[in-house]
């Protein structure tokens, strides 16, 4: 029996926090599709039984027609080859409002062969047959926003919020495990999209606004053999297994520079599912930090650095440049040199040195005081204001402990 586990493909995204031109955007689209194809090709070539997609398939709920066709074409190839696909939405491609529907839902509603999408909290586990006739049980849990699990207005503390959130999940999984059909399965797999306690963030920390961690014991109930996670972009294993994150399929921002990317292949050995990370190729990404440029002509100094630095063609390049005060930087000249070197995309972030007499004065007010002053200017009732301040003070206190 063979299972492929992937997540966080973010189809439709070119690069986080960047606006690219048409050529660069097209290259990035092909980067993601190329790695998607590597996984699909292997699943077909080696006759995998199941292909798990653990959320954030798309970067948004409406990725556009071209991106959806790219995805659907590959699902069709898997289906034609007898590979069963089980998918759940993540925080990026889950509908943000109750009446909304994701484009992926269209495939499910059309009853696409061998494609199973769990877009809402499951009422029963999914039990499917592998190629050899043996059954496998899946508990697919889509991204669960805190407000969908608990009544936030009733919560008095961050601790209570974590407990109530995990209680909701624990009771959901426990009820699903009572399904009598699971007594006949060879393996039992939980799929989820979220943060498990003990995991390490990659660049996704920059766009995760509010996270409630799942506890390992919440997911590892009964006879669960494997927990297939999505959401965290760094490949990692929690508590030595069997909770696994494959990570994203490409580097999504400069915050992931140097990170290796992978998917997970599970193969059966002596009756047990044995996962292994399979590396995925990534586009070169580089950051060059520059200081001590000549005041007279910093552009010439940067041009020399660009010329003498070994930068692979097709690189995504970031230059962090400290500019001497009163100096002038000719960005157009630098861009011409970068294009000649075959750089796919570049960003030049500059930081001008300030004159001592006009340097910004440090604000000596405490963070608590600044938050309190801001809350006082908001037109909200006193109960909400008091609770917001209480949460803010707790977060600041917890951050100070680390």
Rounded to two decimals, the pTM is 0.83
Spatial neighbors of 306 by CB under 8 A, at least 6 apart, are 334, 337, 338, 341
Structure tokens at 363: 């604000």
CB 4 within 8 A of CB 42: yes
Give the model's pLDDT for residue 294.
84
Helix 65-80 with 22-45: angle, nearest 10 deg = 10
Tell me the C-alpha distance between 91 and 105, whole Å: 15
End-to-end CA distance of the chain: 44
Q: What is the pLDDT of residue 170?
A: 96
Provide CATH code, domain 2-280: 3.60.21.10
pLDDT, tens digit (0-9, with 9 covering 90-100), for 197-212: 988 876 666 555 467 8
The predicted structure's pLDDT at residue 17: 54
Could you give the angle at the alpha carbon of 203 between the alpha carbons of 198 and 155, nearest 5°? 55
**Interacting residues of 180 by C-beta distance below 8 A, sequence separation 6+:** none
The residue behind tokens 């999914």 is: 126
Dihedral sign of CA atoms 232, 234, 240, 244 in order? positive
Dihedral sign of CA atoms 121, 158, 211, 242 in order: negative
Predicted pLDDT at 262: 98
Rounded CA separation 110/378 (Å): 47
Listed by start position, the domains of the chain span: 2-280, 285-358, 367-401
Q: Give me the tens of pLDDT residue by residue for the chain, a chain 402 residues long.
A: 999 999 999 998 876 655 567 788 889 999 999 999 999 999 999 999 999 999 999 988 778 889 999 999 999 999 999 999 999 999 888 766 554 566 777 777 878 899 999 988 999 999 999 999 999 999 999 999 888 888 877 888 888 889 999 999 999 999 999 999 999 999 999 999 999 998 887 666 655 546 789 999 999 999 999 999 999 999 999 988 899 999 999 999 898 999 999 999 999 999 999 999 999 999 999 999 998 888 888 999 999 999 999 999 999 999 999 888 778 888 888 888 998 999 998 888 888 765 444 334 444 557 777 777 777 666 667 777 788 888 777 777 766 544
Q: Which residue has the tokens 């003990």?
A: 198
CA 266, CA 360: separation in Å to the nearest integer? 55
DSSP 327-350: ----HHHHHHHHHHTT-SEEEEEE
**What pLDDT was estimated at residue 87?**
96
| 248: phi then psi, degrees, rounded to nearest 5 | -75, 165
Confidence (pLDDT) at 356 = 45
């Amino acid at each position: 029996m063979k299972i492929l586990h992937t997540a966080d493909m973010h189809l439709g995204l070119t690069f986080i926090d960047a606006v690219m031109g048409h050529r660069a955007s097209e290259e990035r689209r092909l980067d993601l599709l190329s790695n998607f194809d590597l996984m699909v090709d292997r699943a077909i070539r080696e006759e995998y039984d199941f292909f798990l997609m653990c959320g954030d398939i798309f970067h948004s709920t409406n990725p556009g027609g071209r991106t959806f066709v790219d995805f659907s074409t590959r699902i069709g190839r898997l289906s034609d080859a007898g590979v069963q696909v089980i998918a759940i939405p993540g925080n990026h491609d889950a509908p943000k409002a109750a009446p909304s529907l994701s484009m992926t839902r269209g495939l499910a509603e059309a009853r696409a062969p061998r494609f199973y999408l769990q877009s809402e909290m499951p009422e029963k586990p999914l039990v499917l047959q592998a190629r050899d006739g043996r059954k496998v049980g899946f508990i697919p849990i889509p991204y669960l926003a805190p407000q969908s699990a608990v009544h936030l207005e009733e919560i008095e503390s961050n601790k209570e919020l974590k407990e109530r959130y995990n209680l909701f999940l624990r009771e959901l999984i426990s009820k699903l495990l009572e399904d009598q059909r699971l007594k006949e399965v060879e393996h039992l797999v939980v799929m989820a999209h979220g943060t498990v306690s003990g995991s390490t963030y990659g660049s996704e920390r920059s766009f995760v606004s509010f996270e409630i961690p799942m506890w390992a014991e919440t997911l590892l109930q009964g006879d669960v053999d494997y927990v297939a996670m999505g959401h965290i972009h760094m490949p990692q294993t929690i508590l030595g297994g069997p909770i696994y994150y494959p990570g994203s399929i490409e580097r999504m921002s400069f915050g992931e520079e140097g990170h290796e990317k992978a998917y997970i292949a599970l193969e059966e050995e002596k009756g047990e599912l044995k996962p292994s990370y399979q590396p995925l190729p990534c586009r070169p990404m580089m950051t060059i930090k520059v200081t001590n440029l000549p005041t007279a002509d910093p552009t010439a100094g940067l041009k020399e650095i660009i010329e003498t630095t070994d930068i692979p063609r097709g690189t995504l390049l970031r230059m962090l440049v400290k500019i001497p005060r009163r100096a002038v930087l000719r960005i157009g000249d630098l861009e011409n040199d970068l294009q000649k070197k075959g750089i796919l995309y570049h960003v030049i972030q500059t930081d001008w040195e300030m004159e001592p007499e006009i340097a910004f004065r440090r604000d000596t007010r405490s963070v608590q005081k600044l938050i309190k002053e801001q809350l006082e200017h908001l037109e909200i009732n006193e109960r909400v204001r008091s609770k917001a301040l209480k949460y803010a003070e707790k977060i600041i206190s917890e951050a100070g402990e680390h």
